[in-house]
Amino acid sequence: MKQKPWKQKNRIRRSAGERIGYTLICIVLGLFAFSTIYPVWHVIMYSFSDSKRAMVGGLFFIPKGFSLLGYETVFKTAQIWIAYRNSLLVMIVGTIIAVSLSAVTAYPLSRKRLWGRNFFSMVFFFTMLFSGGTIPLYLQVSALGLLNTFWSMVLPTAMSAYNMFILRNFMKSIPDSLEESARIDGANDFVILVRVMLPLCAPSLAAVAMFYGVEYWNNYMNCLLYTNSTSLQVLPLYLRSVLASAASNALSAAGNLSSLGEASKVLTEETVKMTTVAVSVIPILIIYPFLQRYYTKGITIGAVKG
């Protein structure tokens, strides 16, 4: 059967060297993808495995003796629900505040009519190179009365200069004629920002929100430095306490498991660790697919102008 003309026209003929090069590139990229995906897959499969069979080690492409005992153990502890709640609140509230501050700061810096905008941009850029340090920041948080409060985990890292510059560069690519048209219709700067700029910056806002969300979700230093109450403990800090525990104290770090009876005796330290790690990445795995399509567009368009 003869091939259709359009199929013959679109067919690419490669030389032997090109085919070898293409094959090598596919192999290298495949190995790179495997080395990136497998560690996460290993943790998830280990958490679903039977503790005794998992101790043998090796590769975990599928669970070795399927078991949910690790998840039953971790989710029966009260502290992980407290840590989950705190991490979700910090991520949601912190992301909203951080994105709002970044947008409010980026809009005036993107407009040519702002006097001294290059100077102010340099001031923000300076903070990307140098910081005051941990002790001055701690003293400032203490002076503001934020120690042992929820806001101590949100406000010290409320805005990133890097993310603000992404939004600023994106807003620079928006034609001034849109702003002028809105101003002729009687809109002020706040209305222009909310009704004109932010809707057009949706891809960049989504990318920046993802940056902030992941940063807040993984951040445990604010909780470690500024709080000393278990009621304010976030999930990464709880995970850190589990991972740092010795084998004899691993189950105690995960919570009081005495009520589990014989079940607690068959759980190993490594299973508790793997299960806790798997539980901590679930929200990011759920949220990321919805924002991934905005990621590349938001970054590339925002990088067109400097």
Cβ(137)–Cβ(152) below 8 Å: no
Domain boundary among 49, 67, 85: 67
Please report the pLDDT score of residue 258 as a whole number.
Answer: 46
pLDDT at 301: 55
Query: Side chain identity at 74, as an amino acid letter?
Result: V
141 and 263 assigned to the same domain: yes
Residue 9 within any structural domain of the chain = no
276 with 254: CB under 8 angstroms? yes
Residues of the chain with pLDDT under 70: 1-12, 243-267, 291-306
Verify that 128 and 223 share a domain, yes or no. Answer: yes
Structure tokens at 25: 């590139």
Angle between helix axes 78-110 and 161-172 (nearest 10 degrees) is 40
Give the pLDDT score at 25.
92
Same domain, 56 and 96: no
* CA distance linking residue 220 with residue 217, whole number of Å: 8
Task: Specify whether 109 is located in the same domain as 190.
Answer: yes
| pLDDT value of position 306 | 44
State residue 259's pLDDT score: 43
CA geometry: angle 36, 205, 118, nearest 5 deg: 110
Tokens 């609140």 sit on residue: 89
Residues 41 and 80 in one domain: no
Residue entry with tokens 């090598």: 24
Q: What domain range includes position 54?
A: 15-67
The beta strand positions in 88-202, using DSSP E, are: none
What pLDDT shows up at residue 27?
93
Of 86, 58, 148, 32, the closest CA to residue 280 belongs to 86
Would residue 4 count as lying in a domain? no
Q: Domain total for the chain?
A: 2
Determine the Cα–Cα distance for residues 78 and 240; give it in Å rounded to an integer: 17
> Can you tell me the distance from the alpha carbon of 46 to that of 273, in angstroms, rounded to the nearest whole number?
10
Burial category of 82 from C-beta neighbours within 10 Å (exposed 0-12, middle 13-18, buried 19 and up): middle
Q: Retrieve residue 290's tokens.
A: 């919805």
Q: What is the pLDDT, as a whole number, of residue 203?
A: 81
- Together in a domain, 252 and 238: yes
Both 216 and 286 in a single domain?
Answer: yes
Within 8 A by CB and 6+ apart from 51, the residues are 67, 69, 70, 266, 267, 268, 270, 271
- Identify whether 5 is part of a domain: no
How many angstroms separate the CA atoms of 116 and 156, rounded? 26
Q: Are residues 138 and 271 in the same domain?
A: yes
Best CA proximity match to 242, nearest among 211, 204, 278? 278
Are residues 145 and 43 both part of a single domain?
no
